[in-house]
C-alpha cells in the first residue's frame, strides 16, 4: 500500500472539489432557494425534478443539444481524419502545420463564438452566400460551426497519433498482397486505429455537450432553439433560481453520464493506465 501515500493527496483534493459541489447540488435541488437571498431556503422534495422532467422546453433544449453533439462530432471526425491523413503524408510541412493545427483550439471559445456570429449576422458570409437575416437560430448554427472549427485541430492531432501507430509493415504487406486503396483503408488502417477513433469520439462528444459560449452570445429574446447548458446557466445566473438550477445541473450531469455509458461500451473504449 506504499502507492497510496503518493496517490492520496490528489485523490482527496479531487474528491473534495467534485463530490462536495455535486452533493451540494443534490441538496440544493431539493429546496427552493435563490442565489441572492440565502436565508429563505424551503425544502420542497422532488418538486424541482418534476418541474424539469415535465417541462417541454427543457426536453426541446436537450434534443437540440444532442443534435449539436452528433453533428459536431461527425464533422470533427471526418475533417480531422482527412487532415490527419494529409498531415501524415506531408512531413515536410510539419514545422508549420504542427503549430497551425492547434492554434484554433488556443483561441478563447467566447471570441470564436462572437466572430462567427458576426460573420453570419453582419459579416463576410452574408455577402458570400447571400444570407438574409439568419436570426438567432442561424447564429447558433454559425457558432456551432465555429466550435467545430476550434475542435477539428485537436481531433486531427488525436487521430494522427492513432495513425502513426498503424505499423508501416502492415500497409506494405497489404500492398504486396494486392489490396486496393479502399481495402487498405477498411481492412488495415481503420481497424488498427479504431481505439484512437473511439477515444476521439467519446472525448469530443462530451466536450461538445458542454458548449456554452455560443448559445450565450447568440441568445435573443424569443429564440426558438436553446441548449441544455444554456438553460442551466440562464436559470442559475440570470434568474438566480439556485434550487431549480441545481436540479437541472444534476440532470445535466446524469445526461453526460448516460452519454458516456452509451459511447464507452458501443465503441469499446478501453484504456489501461
Partner 1 sequence: MTPSVRSRLWASATSFALGFGVGNYGVLQVPRPDQWVWIAVAVVLMLTGAAGVLFADTSRAVSFWAILGVEVFAVFTLVPLLWTFTVATTPEGATARTLLPQDISWSAFDGAISSGTLRSAATTSLLVALVATVVAVALAVPAAYALVRLQVRARRLVYGLVVAALLMPVLALAGPFADQLVSLGAYGSRLALVVPMLVVTLPLATWLCVTVMRDVPWTLLDAVRADGATRPQQLRRFAVPHLGPGVVAAALLVFVAACNDFALGAGLAPDRPSLPLPATLLVASRQVDGSSAVAAAGLLWLLIPLIVLLVLPRRINHLLGRSYR
User: Which residues, 208 to 227, sit near partner 1 by CB under 8 A?
Assistant: 209-210, 212-213, 216-217
> Is residue 141 near partner 1 by the rule CB under 8 A?
no
Single out the residue of 62, 66, 71, 161 in contact with partner 1 (rule: CB under 8 A).
161
> Is residue 149 near partner 1 by the rule CB under 8 A?
yes
Please identify, among the stretches 44-52, 70-78, 131-139, 156-164, the one whose residues bind partner 1 according to the rule CB under 8 A.
156-164
CB atoms inside a 10 Å sphere around CB 30:
19
Farthest CA pair distance, the chain: 77
> Is residue 260 near partner 1 by the rule CB under 8 A?
yes
What are 103's three cell numbers? 492554434
User: Which residues, 61 to 90, sit near partner 1 by CB under 8 A?
Assistant: 79, 82-83, 85-90
> Is residue 51 near partner 1 by the rule CB under 8 A?
no
> Is residue 196 near partner 1 by the rule CB under 8 A?
yes
Single out the residue of 63, 70, 107, 266 in contact with partner 1 (rule: CB under 8 A).
107
Exposure string of 248-271, with b = 16+ CB inside 10 Å and e = fewer, is bbbbbeebeeebbeebeeebebee
> Is residue 133 near partner 1 by the rule CB under 8 A?
no
Question: 123 or 135: whose CB is closer to partner 1?
Answer: 123
> Is residue 176 near partner 1 by the rule CB under 8 A?
no
Please identify, among the stretches 6-14, 42-50, 54-62, 133-141, the one whose residues bind partner 1 according to the rule CB under 8 A.
6-14
CB atoms inside a 10 Å sphere around CB 226:
20
Question: 165 or 187: whose CB is closer to partner 1?
Answer: 165
Single out the residue of 119, 120, 141, 225 in contact with partner 1 (rule: CB under 8 A).
119
Single out the residue of 98, 167, 190, 220 in contact with partner 1 (rule: CB under 8 A).
98
Return the closest-CA partner of residue 61 out of 208, 252, 218, 256.
252
> Is residue 17 near partner 1 by the rule CB under 8 A?
yes
Amino acid at each position: 500500500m506504499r502507492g497510496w501515500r503518493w496517490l492520496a493527496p490528489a485523490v482527496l483534493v479531487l474528491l473534495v472539489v467534485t463530490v462536495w459541489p455535486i452533493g451540494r447540488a443534490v441538496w440544493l435541488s431539493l429546496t427552493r432557494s435563490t442565489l441572492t437571498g440565502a436565508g429563505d431556503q424551503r425544502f420542497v422534495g422532488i418538486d424541482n425534478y418534476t418541474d424539469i422532467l415535465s417541462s417541454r422546453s427543457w426536453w426541446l433544449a436537450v434534443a437540440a443539444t444532442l443534435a449539436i453533439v452528433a453533428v459536431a462530432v461527425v464533422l470533427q471526425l471526418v475533417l480531422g481524419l482527412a487532415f490527419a491523413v494529409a498531415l501524415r503524408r506531408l512531413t515536410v510541412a510539419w514545422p508549420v502545420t504542427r503549430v497551425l493545427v492547434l492554434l484554433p483550439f488556443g483561441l478563447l471559445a467566447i471570441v470564436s463564438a462572437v466572430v462567427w456570429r458576426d460573420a453570419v449576422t453582419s459579416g463576410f458570409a452574408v455577402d458570400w452566400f447571400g444570407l438574409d437575416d439568419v436570426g438567432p437560430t442561424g447564429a447558433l448554427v454559425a457558432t456551432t460551426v465555429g466550435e467545430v472549427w476550434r475542435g477539428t485541430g485537436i481531433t486531427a492531432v488525436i487521430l494522427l497519433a492513432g495513425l502513426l501507430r498503424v505499423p508501416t509493415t502492415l500497409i506494405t504487406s497489404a500492398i504486396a498482397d494486392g489490396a486496393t486503396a479502399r481495402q487498405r483503408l477498411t481492412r488495415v488502417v481503420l481497424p488498427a486505429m479504431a481505439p484512437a477513433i473511439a477515444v476521439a469520439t467519446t472525448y469530443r462528444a462530451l466536450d461538445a455537450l458542454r458548449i456554452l459560449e455560443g448559445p450565450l452570445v447568440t441568445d435573443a429574446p424569443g429564440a426558438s432553439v436553446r441548449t441544455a447548458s444554456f438553460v442551466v446557466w440562464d436559470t442559475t445566473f440570470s434568474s438566480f433560481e439556485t434550487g431549480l438550477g441545481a436540479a437541472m445541473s444534476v440532470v445535466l450531469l446524469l445526461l453526460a453520464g448516460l452519454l458516456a455509458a452509451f459511447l464507452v461500451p458501443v465503441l469499446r473504449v478501453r484504456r489501461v493506465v
